[in-house]
Amino acid sequence: MLKKAMTTMLAGAALVMLVTVPVSAKEKKESMKSVELQLALRDLWVDHIFWVRSVVIATKYGDTEAAKVAEENVVKDAKDISGAVASFYGKDAGDKLFGLLAGHYGAIKDYLTAAVAGSKEGKDAAADKLKKNADEIATFLHSANPKNWPKDTLLSLLIAHGAQHMAQIDAVVAKDYGAEAMIWGNMKKHIYTIADALAGGIEKQFPKKF
């Protein structure tokens, strides 16, 4: 499963390089507000992968108190991400995204539980749930900003992100720390791509706010 997840992750990253065009200073002089949005979303999404990683490590080593604190922060961060979206799209959109992010984490948690138990069937079921949730998130975001958030692009980003979560869990459970270190580095780079895609889409849809 680790090899398969790594292959999916790398393939997704390659696809993202082909289908996404980041907003750069060369193309457009960025306003202070657009830079602030980009950095804020980067911070929120990095917090997501940091706290999920903390849950994974604490769970693997049986530290229930550390896992509890980390999970509380996963939920808090999901609320903050949803709040950032709500500030542009309204409370209902924020609430909807929070529910979808809860589903994202729920699938990750299921995969973690199955990996620790050594259940291939459980891992496969969780992987399917994670992919379905990625499609739901991509569909929702695309509906909010169809011109600037193409569903296929969003889905490729989210599928690769989910594959990274699974690969990280497999590496931690296997105590393959070298692989986990590489995955973590790739996760940080990829999460910036997700955050930047969201920030760029918001800026293009609401130019008067920037």
The string of pLDDT tens digits covering residues 193-204 is 999 999 999 999
Report domain extents, the chain.
78-209
Cβ 90 vs Cβ 98: under 8 Å: no
Interatomic CA distance for residues 141 and 29, integer angstroms: 26
pLDDT digits (tens, 9 = 90+) for 104-149: 999 999 999 999 999 999 999 999 999 999 999 999 999 999 999 9
**Arithmetic mean of pLDDT over the chain:** 90
Whole-structure pTM value: 0.86
Cα distances from 94 to residues 63, 116, 144, in angstroms, run 32, 33, 11
